[in-house]
Amino acid sequence: MKQLPSTPKGNSTLNFKIATVFFLFLALLSCKSEKVSTQKEPSAQSVFNTEVSNEDSLERLKTLRAKESAIGNYRASAKRDFDLLHTDLELAFDWENQAVIGKAKLKLKPFFYPQKELILDAKDYDVGAVFFIKNDSTQKVNYGYNEKQLLIYLPQELTEKDTFGVEINYRAYPERNSGNGSEAISDTKGLYFIDPLDTIPGKPRMIWTQGETEHNSKWFPTIDKPNERATQLFKLTVPDSLVTVSNGVLVKSESLGDGLRKDYWEMTLPHAPYLAAIAVGDFGKAEDRFRDIPLGYYVEKGYEKGAAKVFANTPEMIGFFESKLGVNYPWPKYDQIVVRDFVSGAMENTTASIFMENLLLDEREAIDSEWDYIIAHELFHQWFGDFVTTESWSNLTLNEAFANYSEYLWNEYKYSKDEAALKLVSEMEGYFAEAETKQVNLIRFEYEDNEDMFDAHSYNKGGVILHMLRQKVGDEAFFKALNLYLNQNAFQSVEVHDLRLAFEKVTGEDLNWFFNQWFLDKGHPELIFDVDYSQPENILISVFQVQDPMQSPVFQFPLEVSWYEDGERKRKTFFVNESFQQFTLENKNPVSQVYLDEGKNLLARRTQEMSPSQYLRQLKESKLGVARYEALDSLISKGEEELLFEAIPFALQDSFWAVKENVLGFLQSDSSWGQKIEGIESGILKIAESDPKNSVRAAALDVFATWDADKYSPIFKKMVQEPSYLVAGSALAGLVQSGENALDDEEIVYFEKETNFRMIIPLAEYFLENEVAGKGNWFFEKVRSLNGEGLYFFLGYFGEYFSRMPDEGKENASAYLLNLMKNQTQNYIRLGSFQALMGFADDQEIVKKIQQVASEEKDLQLRNYYNYYLEALVDEN
């Protein structure tokens, strides 16, 4: 599972009116369509000749559930009364009623103790007949059902030597009682019908699933626990115009007549129930291979070439991860599917990862694709999470920490150590933000809901801790231990001690101290550093741990101290294990500046007094891009103009793109620098024209747009034709700011045809600023064509246009926004719709409708946000 990004991948160059609110909100939270078929779907009536569940059965279920909750919030690994061996599903879909028509045949055996009752997870079904199958004999059996679990009375006591089957006929209603999920997973339906009646223009009809944590039992009966494993055969009946994708291999596809087809997807290797998945839609497919492993990239038709670029690094990623782990990709194929309205960033279903629609890019948009991080994340899960799976949600970080750290590994290999280090710092900051109000054990057994585990502890902190473990034991031992861990636990469930023991076996070292403080306890070091330079040949370093000892213990960790002699980087490592320690560097040669954890490898908040001149020196001499980035950031915040004169030209020539982008962002805020530093204009122009990274080129154009848009309009005219939307969008934004004559009528007509939000939004800005009438249809056309982050950003312009020019279609615009606010799956789109609607706050009828929709919002944080602004609006009036 990958959480929604905390900030969109948007171009910082565009003047988005409501982006800041979006970022704050996410910090609290992250084709061709087919008409509805009139052909016959398989009838379900015959399966509902069921016996009514009796009161004793329901009481029995209540008693069992009471026993489960008797230990309070302590979340033990699920007790295994049965071993689920195989799941055989026959599924058809009632699109109109958004229901799943199913027949499930489960093969099981008692795990150890004799059993007379079988309890399956089965949420929100109409249950029909249930049968017991053993030795080719089938008999109907009684059951009890409480809308969450199905209690099946077995006709005889069975032992671990007895393999048997049950058949359940049912109709599942995923919409019933669906919840709000978590920061990572915004809904809990398990299975989703997207535009099932094909009523939304430009939106494809599809079905997809999202089973983590225990939501797949919303569409098929199972033992919905992560420590269960089974093989499966899914038989999917769909209109023959649609494509299906599922786990494993498509072994057969047969025509049923009447426009229907049945696809057989077989998974012969066992995996956890939450990793089962299906996707149904009018998909196109781009194909690739890694050795003999077929790779499929499923997207809406027309986006196949874009998908080939977005997912182009997949074969190389598989090869890289195999080489690091020494374990081959364990499955027969790997598909990646992009769907609409996904409730998370992505999900690592075995052999079939599903991604949010932000990865739906055409060939030109894919030039600037920066989705490798999420692609690597889900791919690494195929080893860590799918091949070896956490035994309980308490141990979730054994899935997610590894997936998060794969992003670092891929960046380090493919791009640079600087890129990887900056990513790691970003992960730390995400964790520190959460730690301001929440500090819990990384492996934790007390929580209210499974979804609570999906947080910046399990993801961000876990990934950084793996990095520190790698630093501690060294690369060779780290990857050898991972190899051992994977091989010892293949197709099994694990807890944190399995990981520790693998590392101890490889290194020969007791690592309880490391796992106890980082995995099994909470918090992080809060450090104060002091460096005494009074003896340059023997620098004295003082380290204070100042975290609350009642909340977090004294931590033990290695601390790297580095310095430079004639441009060569020197370093020593000291071990910190007390609340106050001093170390002498014994450097012999005089040293005037040292760096503590220069590469930012340590998960710790740190304070150290450094002067602006020291930061300037760090910018100039450090060989680590993340340290130069930090130095520039600190110089900018301190604002000493004399030193910035020296720092800015140096930063503009830095080899690390992030440093250049940072300094360009600073220059954008102050046009006076164009006159203060000789040659700066030509330097920025060179970046705009030839920098290897398009986001840096775009940032350079933004500088010119804010300095003097009219002066640089010839540059914008030239670069608005660039293939990169990042660059072209910034150039168009510059033209919009250049004045009335920068864009002629012919150019406006040309750009009106653009479909990418980076081009649409500057044009929307132009229409607003110049109060161009007659563009209502254009705004409606664009709002209906956009999705994801682009839609969010555009909604503010959409609402403002119709609030300024009500004759263009205010009533239709407000109705459209109200519909989005009420029905959109993605919470940030609902947020954007609300923000856009506030432009109509002077219309009391619209305000009443906003209040009504706000009162129906299920997301508590979003509803609180609505209420805050609506109450302020009432007070104002």
* Domain range annotation of the chain: 388-518, 526-602, 654-876
Token couple for 65: 């559930």
How far apart are alpha carbons 636 and 258 in whole angstroms?
69
Give the contacts of 402 (CB within 8 A, at least 6 positions apart). 380, 381, 383, 384, 385, 462, 463, 466
Q: Is the pLDDT of residue 524 over 50?
A: yes
Using pLDDT thresholds of 50, 70 and 90, give the confidence band for residue 874: confident
- Average the pLDDT over each of 3-17, 416-430, 538-552 and give the range with the smallest value: 3-17
Task: Please report the pLDDT score of residue 69 as a whole number.
Answer: 46
Q: For residues 235 and 253, is the Cβ–Cβ distance under 8 A?
A: no
Q: For residues 190 and 209, is the Cβ–Cβ distance under 8 A?
A: yes
How far apart are alpha carbons 297 and 505 in whole angstroms?
40
Nearest alpha-carbon partner for 336 in 359, 354, 309, 356? 354
- Return the DSSP state at 47: G
**Phi, psi of 155, rounded to the nearest 5 degrees:** -70, -10
Beta strand 388-390 with 492-494: parallel, antiparallel or unpaired? parallel
How far apart are alpha carbons 246 and 263 in whole angstroms?
10
Q: Which whole number is the average pLDDT over 580-604?
A: 95
Q: How many CB atoms lie within 10 A of CB 667?
A: 25
Using pLDDT thresholds of 50, 70 and 90, give the confidence band for residue 55: low
Token couple for 124: 């929100």
- Return the DSSP state at 268: E
Task: Please report the pLDDT score of residue 741 as a whole number.
Answer: 73
Token couple for 142: 């009684």
**Phi, psi of 830, rounded to the nearest 5 degrees:** -60, -40
- Average the pLDDT over each of 24-33, 280-289, 844-853 and give the range with the smallest value: 24-33
Q: Which whole number is the average pLDDT over 48-72?
A: 53
Q: Is the pLDDT of residue 105 over 70?
A: yes
Q: How many CB atoms lie within 10 A of CB 533?
A: 12
Q: For residues 277 and 347, is the Cβ–Cβ distance under 8 A?
A: yes
Domain range 654-876, its CATH number among 1.10.1740, 1.10.8, 1.25.10, 1.10.10? 1.25.10
Q: Which CA distances in Å does 809 have to 813, 824, 830?
A: 6, 22, 21
Task: Please report the pLDDT score of residue 247 as a whole number.
Answer: 98
How far apart are alpha carbons 742 and 734 in whole angstroms?
9
- Return the DSSP state at 359: G
Task: Please report the pLDDT score of residue 52 as a whole number.
Answer: 46
Task: Please report the pLDDT score of residue 295 as a whole number.
Answer: 98
Task: Please report the pLDDT score of residue 201 as a whole number.
Answer: 81
Task: Please report the pLDDT score of residue 179 as a whole number.
Answer: 62
Q: Which whole number is the average pLDDT over 740-745?
A: 80
pLDDT tens digit sequence for 441-489:
999 999 999 999 999 999 999 999 999 999 999 999 999 999 999 999 9
% of residues, the chain, pLDDT over 90: 83
Token couple for 160: 């671990």
Domain range 526-602, its CATH number among 2.40.50.100, 2.20.140.10, 2.60.40.1840, 2.20.25.10? 2.60.40.1840
Using pLDDT thresholds of 50, 70 and 90, give the confidence band for residue 33: very low
Task: Please report the pLDDT score of residue 158 as a whole number.
Answer: 98
Task: Please report the pLDDT score of residue 59 as a whole number.
Answer: 65
Task: Please report the pLDDT score of residue 36 as a whole number.
Answer: 28
Using pLDDT thresholds of 50, 70 and 90, give the confidence band for residue 4: low
Could you tell me the pTM of the whole model?
0.92
Q: For residues 64 and 119, is the Cβ–Cβ distance under 8 A?
A: yes
Would you tell me the crossing angle of helices 417-435 and 657-668 to the nearest 10 degrees?
60
- Average the pLDDT over each of 180-194, 406-420, 477-491 and give the range with the smallest value: 180-194
Q: For residues 276 and 205, is the Cβ–Cβ distance under 8 A?
A: no
- Average the pLDDT over each of 9-18, 224-233, 675-684, 831-840 and give the range with the smallest value: 9-18
Q: For residues 607 and 639, is the Cβ–Cβ distance under 8 A?
A: no
Q: Is the pLDDT of residue 186 over 70?
A: no
Q: Residues 477-504, buried b or exposed e (16+ Cβ, 10 A)?
A: bbbbbbbbbbeebeeebbbbebbbbbbb
CATH number of the domain at 388-518, please? 1.10.390.10
Task: Please report the pLDDT score of residue 5 as a whole number.
Answer: 47
Of the two residues 825 and 759, the one the predictor is more confident about is 759
Q: Which whole number is the average pLDDT over 28-38?
A: 32
Q: Calculate the average pLDDT of the chain.
A: 91
Task: Please report the pLDDT score of residue 178 as a whole number.
Answer: 74
How far apart are alpha carbons 622 and 175 in whole angstroms?
56
Nearest alpha-carbon partner for 25 in 797, 828, 821? 828
Nearest alpha-carbon partner for 274 in 235, 230, 332? 230
**Phi, psi of 420, rounded to the nearest 5 degrees:** -65, -40
Task: Please report the pLDDT score of residue 41 as a whole number.
Answer: 34
pLDDT tens digit sequence for 353-377:
999 999 999 999 999 999 999 999 9
Give the contacts of 40 (CB within 8 A, at least 6 positions apart). 258, 260
**Partners of 572 in the beta sheet?**
561
**Partners of 570 in the beta sheet?**
563
